[in-house]
Structure 1
Amino acid sequence: MSERVSQSINKLKANNIRITPQRYGILEYLIEHDSHPTADEIYKALSDRFPSMSVATVYNNLRLFTEIGFVKEMRFGDASSRFDFATTEHYHAVCENCGKVEDIYYPGLEDVESVTADLTGFKITHHRLEIYGLCMDCQKLDQFSEVK
């Protein structure tokens, strides 16, 4: 078990949240796979390991993890949410073609909330930054389609 999984399990136990095998598996998958999966992707990845687990179980656990702050739900305009195990504040680059999401850690944006509050008078609750374009794989595909 990785240190991040172990720490997260200990936090769940400290909050009197029962650690079921399915809950453990979902949390472990989110931590170990940095792919910003959808609930369906998590379900498919774990269905062999937990054949009796339902999609509803995955959604319910993701909702719990989101409520306690372990996971961030990200909506990028398509029909399905993606989930990100949130340990540090970061941003996302999103491929407009295939939907791939990459984390971006950019120093200097930490104070964007306080600057915005100072400039507007808003009471800032949170923020997110997404940058859209084509990932390297889709750029390669796009290059091939232009050659005729």
Structure 2
Amino acid sequence: MTNRRNTIQKDLVRNAVYEMKKHVTANEVYEFIKEAYPTIGKGTVYRNLDILIEEGALRKIEVPDGPNRFDFTLNNHYHVRCVKCGDISDVDMDEIPNLLERIHNTHGIKFLDYDILFKGICLKCREKEKEELHGQKGNV
């Protein structure tokens, strides 16, 4: 790992991820910073996200069929993605101990790491569905 200097832009990006308190996309970070610093470039934000991941200050969550997300919780943990709105949240459970060592490797693959992403429906979307259902019953 190369020793990089701290820059104002890198601090802005790191602080934005922490302040937003959710699993954010790179574009959400850009839009958040742009409100206070309208001259910041999208490339600057994206580049600094990559640097912060490389330095171990942020964690990247690769999302199938969606934009990658960035997380300030660095220890191994699991996530759930709402199939309705796409929001990603932490799953409150202990990490499965020695998961990589427990894999039955029959294909000669060297396992490096993992991201476990559960699917579900978040509370907001469930409540919205409930409201829509009640609204439909009232119209019958």
How far apart in 2 are the matches of 1:99 and 1:29? Answer: 20
Partner of 1:146: 133
Q: AA paired with 1:123?
A: K
Which fold has the larger relative contact order, with Cα–Cα distance below 8 Å and residues 6 or more apart in sequence?
Answer: 2
Matches within 5 A, 1:58-69: 58-69=45-56
Percent sequence identity over aligned pairs: 26
Aligned length: 133
Q: AA paired with 2:18?
A: I
Is contact 1:70–1:86 with CA below 8 Å preserved after alignment?
A: no
Structure 1: any 5+ residue segments left out of the alignment?
1-14
The answer to whether residue 103 in structure 2 is matched with residue 101 in structure 1 is no
Matches within 5 A, 1:1-148: 16-116=3-103, 119-120=104-105, 122-147=109-134, 148=136
SS of 2:89's equivalent in the other structure is strand
Is contact 2:78–2:115 with CA below 8 Å preserved after alignment?
A: yes
Q: AA paired with 1:88?
A: N
Is contact 1:22–1:50 with CA below 8 Å preserved after alignment?
A: no
Displacement, 1:141?
A: 0.8
Distance 1:136-1:73 versus aligned 2 partners, 3 A rule: same
SS of 2:115's equivalent in the other structure is coil
Structure 2: any 5+ residue segments left out of the alignment?
none
How far apart in 2 are the matches of 1:120 and 1:16? Answer: 36
Deviations 1:75-117 (A, max 9, x none): 322342211124211110111111111112422513211111x
The runs of at least 4 consecutive aligned structure 1 residues that moved more than 6 Å come to none
Displacement, 1:72?
A: 2.3
RMSD of aligned residue pairs (Cα, Å) = 2.1
Distance 1:22-1:144 versus aligned 2 partners, 3 A rule: same
How far apart in 2 are the matches of 1:109 and 1:43? Answer: 34
How far apart in 2 are the matches of 1:36 and 1:108? Answer: 19
